Amino acid sequence: SRLGCTRALLWFWWMVCAMDAWWTSEALQTQNGPVMLDAKTFEHHTQAATGQTTGKWFVLFRAHGGERRWQNDMETVWMDMADRWKNKGTIFAYADLEGENGLLAKRFGIQTTTALYFANGMQYEYQEDATQEAVETFVKGGYKQVEGAAVRPPLHFWEEYWMDKLAPAMSILKRVTAQKL
């Protein structure tokens, strides 16, 4: 019957998605160092807003400018922590906020280098020292002492298109028009 076929297809699709999440998590846990994320891979790998079946993620969003010393120290800590926490439930990752990845900055409201911990559908901003001890304390439960926020869903296609293409064009058009007046 059609209903039986539909149920079978839905079950099959759910299994494919579950296996993909498991495979992604396993593959990412076996690589050395932090995982590199971008605007296209962020949600697929982290599943931060869609169930987080790949585990908890600690992402260092890197921006040009801001507090360079803190960022440099955090990058060193991230390299060590990624290897120390491999297969222990938290995946460490980088995401640069330049170019197309600027959409991640817009999604999470980030303007400077920021570390966000994603756990159980929530995001927690890390604002402590750039040391292994402080980061490890945060990962082991210190994040629960920080007020979390629900993970923002990925931007809709039209939001991405507006932010990436139309808004800059409108800005240029306004400047050109203002100069002619």
pLDDT in tens, 124-153: 999 999 999 999 999 999 999 999 999 888
Output the pTM of the full model: 0.70
Query: What are the backbone angles phi and psi of residue 24, rounded to the nearest 5°?
Result: -60, -45
Handedness of CA 153, 149, 42, 17 (dihedral sign): negative
Compute CA 141 distance to the chain's CA centroid, rounded to the nearest angstrom. Answer: 20
Compute CA 102 distance to the chain's CA centroid, rounded to the nearest angstrom. Answer: 12
Question: Using N-to-C axis directions, what is the helix angle for 68-84 and 132-139, rounded to 10°?
Answer: 60
Residue 74 in this model has a pLDDT that exceeds 80: yes
* pLDDT (average), residues 100-121: 88
Q: Enumerate residues 6+ apart whose C-beta is below 8 A from 75.
A: 60, 62, 94
- pLDDT, residue 119, reads 92
Determine how β-strand 122-126 pairs with β-strand 114-119.
antiparallel
- pLDDT, residue 88, reads 87
Residues β-bridged to residue 122: 119, 150
Arithmetic mean of pLDDT over the chain: 79
